[in-house]
Structure 1
Amino acid sequence: MSIASITKQPVKTQQETKTVYNILFIISLCHLLNDSIQAIIPAMFPILEGSMGLSFTQLGLIAFALNMVSSVMQPVVGFYADKKPMPYALPIGLTSSLLGILGLAFAPSFLTILLSVIFIGLGSAIFHPEGSRVAYMAAGKRRGLAQSIYQVGGNSGQALAPLITALILVPLGQFGAIWFTIVAAIAVGLLTYIAIWYSRRLSITNTASKPKTEPKVKNEAISKSIITALIIIIFLIFARSWYVSAISNFYTFYAIDKYHLTIAQSQVYIFIFLLMGAVGTFFGGPLADKYGKRNIIIISLLSAVPLTIILPFVNATVSIILLALIGFVLMSSFSVTVVYAQELVPGKIGTMSGLTVGLAFGMGAIGSIALGAMIDFVGLTPTMITVALLPIVGILAFLLPTDHMLVMWQKENK
């Protein structure tokens, strides 16, 4: 080993192991701003139903347009960025969301609302995989904690949706969305700062990187096991996303119908669910760092089963308590799933983030339209009883490779 390589090595090690907390907190704040913008869409459902006379199926289509654009594009953006990172795509993406918010505030018809949410979905699709890459780069050795800090911003933004409805959209109506152009502008400014740090970090990493060696022959058994594990993850994301979609998009109507609440009062239930989901997201990462990612995924889904099953049959007070517990437990695996997938396929940070987070949005999109149609067909109560069984799919998590196995695969493929 040359003297030059010896002197360069400590710089590289420090960059890789140091957790850059200020960047993590800023990207988490940007995630909050981005997802609070996205959360306006389902938050406006009761408003749009009343002002435009939209059906549950049409509301489902709006959610479908928003989430499907972001979910389909996220893996594409992540895959491209793995080959060629795009630091300044972050502020560009939020600019797209800003344009979507402007359109939403003035949209006169169902079709213009769809067009506006497509712009918002595109901005979200660009933000999420690159935001997750920033969290990964700033994580050091604490990847679970870093991903939790990043993801808790997004879940907190989603949790703001009921408050947005009660404090802004109910008194101001559809035009109240115009206030979120300010939110988008702030996010663009912060992400420009992040993009500058991102670019500098890439320069340091590229300078310190080792020369490429000849690739090893892939272990076919490991490759097949990885594909199997990814399929299992898809099923787990499906179960979690459909349940969260049912609660966040339609439980407000269920609470109004069953407990005879106003729109503002019903938003408290969704706020509690999403707020505790954000808390669960934060704690899930550090717990996974300590007890293992696979273990947290298993516990998260299966321990939610009895809670979701009894939720449709309790009174208004107990339902708030149950929603808080379900949100905390179920969402504790959200950031953990992302990190697990990133370590399952090393070197594909953007792709795996885009796949897992994008898939969550996509599954939620499909769930929105399917559940909306189901509610129109069989009613609110039968639908809520049916979706309560979804977390049982978590039993498939026992088939996932252990954390120790992932480490062994990574060593073998180096």
Structure 2
Amino acid sequence: MSSLQSARIGAVRTGAVYFILIAISAVHMLNDSMQSVVTALFPVLEKALDLNFTQVGWIAFTLNMTSSVMQPAIGIISDKRPAPWMLPAGMGCSLIGMAGLAFAPNFPAVIASVVFVGLGSAVFHPEGSRVVYFAAGARRGLAQSIYQVGGNFGQSLGPLMTMFIFIPLGQHGAVFGTLLAAAAIVVLLKVVPWYSEQLKENGKPAKKKPAAGAAAASGQLQSGRNTVAFALGLLILLVFVRSWYGAAIGSFHQFYMMDHYGLSTKLAQVPLYLFMVAGVAGTFFGGMLADRFGRKNMMFWSVAGSAPFALLLPHLPLYWVYPTAAVLGFVLMSGFSVSVVYAQELMPGKVGMASGLITGFAFGMGALGAVVLGTLADRYGLASVMTWCSFLPLVGVLAILLPKDRRE
């Protein structure tokens, strides 16, 4: 084969891989948009069904527990037996949940519908991460950023949906979510055949021995089982803290803006949107910066670096809330994709399980924050809870204890 032919084949393959990365990122966006439908409905459901903050917290808890805590279990199964058909099946489950949510007459019906949405997400993420693994090549940080940007962008649509769909249309506007699920299934019809072919050609991602030489060669961070266990535990703690703070912002900050600043339901979405859309940018650039400056440095920067802005946010005049929320979102989420890649490097050959632990279990445990914070807000007031939560990112200083990686 001539060098020209090889170059052409390589160019076609590269283009196909980037097409797959963009496609699976788009599905990630649609999946997380459906989850955003649930949180975007909070102000509407609070009024329509006369919910209190504790019940709002339970809805968020149910969504995150079903979508997150089940991910490691599904990841373990899919690591042993990858199943491309699970991708569209998960979207079908979410479609059922969206339809139920639009017509739920009471709190228990809302919970049941949210379970279906969460299960769909739990099924999607481990298999989606494996698709990214096959398509990434050597640019794992960039590939994971492309994938995670899709999800974070989908989450950022929540405030916009509240402003332009759910406030005018009410609860029935959740039918819009079924269109998101249908669109995801259509895109997956292109991804699943490629994914199936990769499994036939390469099998599941190979498990490498945790020897020091192999770890150095592949850029992995492990130096023994104890080091790996410590690093993984600390990583989960950092993601846990980030998700608790994220629960405070995503579930309750809009209510805080209404109570503390007297904003309308619609205008209260603006700081939340700025926080989330800046987080999308942070996710993308954080992955690229981690490839250059190291995973550990980015984890420290993302959590501990956000602490000053988090501490200031509850006490600022309104005009300073907007830029601070944006900077806070960018910094906090700059370590989002980094944490996933870090976990995958700590657990070679267990892509689904690593993804499940970080984007699944740790976030699901953080969902406890929604229930705890909602209960505390009903008892002690929302202003006190938002002030207490602002101290959480200080835990990020513990990232300095993470093992050194190849960029240090």
- Establish whether TM, by shorter chain, passes 0.5: yes
User: Given residue 269 of structure 1, which amino acid in structure 2 is its aligned partner?
Assistant: P
Give the Cα separation in 1 of the matches to 2:261 and 2:51.
Answer: 23
Give 2:301's aligned residue.
299
3-state DSSP of counterpart to 2:117? helix
User: Given residue 193 of structure 2, which amino acid in structure 1 is its aligned partner?
Assistant: I
Give 1:165's aligned residue.
162
Give 1:243's aligned residue.
245
Give 2:151's aligned residue.
154
Give 1:195's aligned residue.
192
Give 2:232's aligned residue.
230
User: Given residue 323 of structure 1, which amino acid in structure 2 is its aligned partner?
Assistant: A
Give 2:338's aligned residue.
336
Unaligned 5+ runs, structure 2: 1-5, 214-221
1:389 counterpart = 2:386: no
Residue 221 of structure 1: how far off its partner (Å): 6.9
User: Given residue 233 of structure 2, which amino acid in structure 1 is its aligned partner?
Assistant: I
> 2:274·2:325 contact (CA, 8 Å) conserved in 1?
yes
Give the Cα separation in 2 of the matches to 1:361 and 1:174.
Answer: 26
User: Superposition pairs for residues 301-316 of structure 1, below 5 Å?
Assistant: 301-316=303-318
1:46 counterpart = 2:43: yes
User: Given residue 105 of structure 2, which amino acid in structure 1 is its aligned partner?
Assistant: P
Deviations 1:167-204 (A, max 9, x none): 11001100000122111101011112211110011112
Greater mean deviation of Cα atoms: 184-193 or 335-344: 184-193
> 2:239·2:363 contact (CA, 8 Å) conserved in 1?
no
Q: Of 282, 285, 300, which residue of structure 2 is paired with 1:283?
A: 285
Give 2:3's aligned residue.
none
Give 2:111's aligned residue.
114
Give the Cα separation in 2 of the matches to 1:158 and 1:72.
Answer: 19
User: Given residue 364 of structure 2, which amino acid in structure 1 is its aligned partner?
Assistant: G
3-state DSSP of counterpart to 1:100? helix
3-state DSSP of counterpart to 1:263? coil
Give 2:216's aligned residue.
none
Residue 404 of structure 1: how far off its partner (Å): 2.5
> 1:18·1:139 contact (CA, 8 Å) conserved in 2?
no
Give the Cα separation in 2 of the matches to 1:329 and 1:229.
Answer: 22
- The number of equivalent residue pairs is 391
Give the Cα separation in 2 of the matches to 1:107 and 1:322.
Answer: 37
User: Superposition pairs for residues 248-263 of structure 1, below 5 Å?
Assistant: 248-263=250-265
Give the Cα separation in 1 of the matches to 2:133 and 2:404.
Answer: 21
Residue 150 of structure 1: how far off its partner (Å): 0.3
Give 1:104's aligned residue.
101
Residue 300 of structure 1: how far off its partner (Å): 1.1
User: Given residue 256 of structure 1, which amino acid in structure 2 is its aligned partner?
Assistant: M
3-state DSSP of counterpart to 2:403? coil
Could you state the TM-score of these two structures normalised by the residue count of structure 1?
Answer: 0.90
Q: Of 348, 357, 376, which residue of structure 1 is paired with 2:350?
A: 348
1:57 counterpart = 2:54: yes
Q: Of 314, 317, 340, which residue of structure 1 is paired with 2:319?
A: 317
Give the Cα separation in 2 of the matches to 1:153 and 1:68.
Answer: 21
Could you state the TM-score of these two structures normalised by the residue count of structure 2?
Answer: 0.91
3-state DSSP of counterpart to 2:267? helix
> 1:155·1:278 contact (CA, 8 Å) conserved in 2?
yes
Give 1:5's aligned residue.
none
Residue 56 of structure 1: how far off its partner (Å): 0.5
Give the Cα separation in 2 of the matches to 1:402 and 1:144.
Answer: 17
User: Given residue 352 of structure 2, which amino acid in structure 1 is its aligned partner?
Assistant: G
3-state DSSP of counterpart to 1:86? coil
Aligned identity (percent) is 49
User: Given residue 329 of structure 2, which amino acid in structure 1 is its aligned partner?
Assistant: G
Report the CA distance shift for 1:217/1:141 in structure 2 as closer, same or farther (over 3 A): closer
Give 1:142's aligned residue.
139
1:126 counterpart = 2:112: no
User: Given residue 289 of structure 2, which amino acid in structure 1 is its aligned partner?
Assistant: L
The two structures, once aligned, show a CA RMSD in angstroms of 2.4
3-state DSSP of counterpart to 2:375? helix
User: Given residue 376 of structure 2, which amino acid in structure 1 is its aligned partner?
Assistant: M
User: Given residue 37 of structure 1, which amino acid in structure 2 is its aligned partner?
Assistant: M
Give the Cα separation in 2 of the matches to 1:381 and 1:276.
Answer: 24
Give the Cα separation in 2 of the matches to 1:270 and 1:169.
Answer: 16
Give 2:85's aligned residue.
88
1:273 counterpart = 2:275: yes
Residue 218 of structure 1: how far off its partner (Å): 11
Give the Cα separation in 2 of the matches to 1:405 and 1:150.
Answer: 23
User: Given residue 76 of structure 1, which amino acid in structure 2 is its aligned partner?
Assistant: A
Give 1:4's aligned residue.
none
Residue 303 of structure 1: how far off its partner (Å): 1.3
Give the Cα separation in 2 of the matches to 1:228 and 1:379.
Answer: 37
Residue 217 of structure 1: how far off its partner (Å): 9.0
Report the CA distance shift for 1:288/1:405 in structure 2 as closer, same or farther (over 3 A): closer
Unaligned 5+ runs, structure 1: 1-9, 407-414
Give 1:367's aligned residue.
369
Deviations 1:288-344 (A, max 9, x none): 111111111111111111111111110111011110000000000000000000001
Give the Cα separation in 1 of the matches to 2:351 and 2:395.
Answer: 26
3-state DSSP of counterpart to 2:145? helix
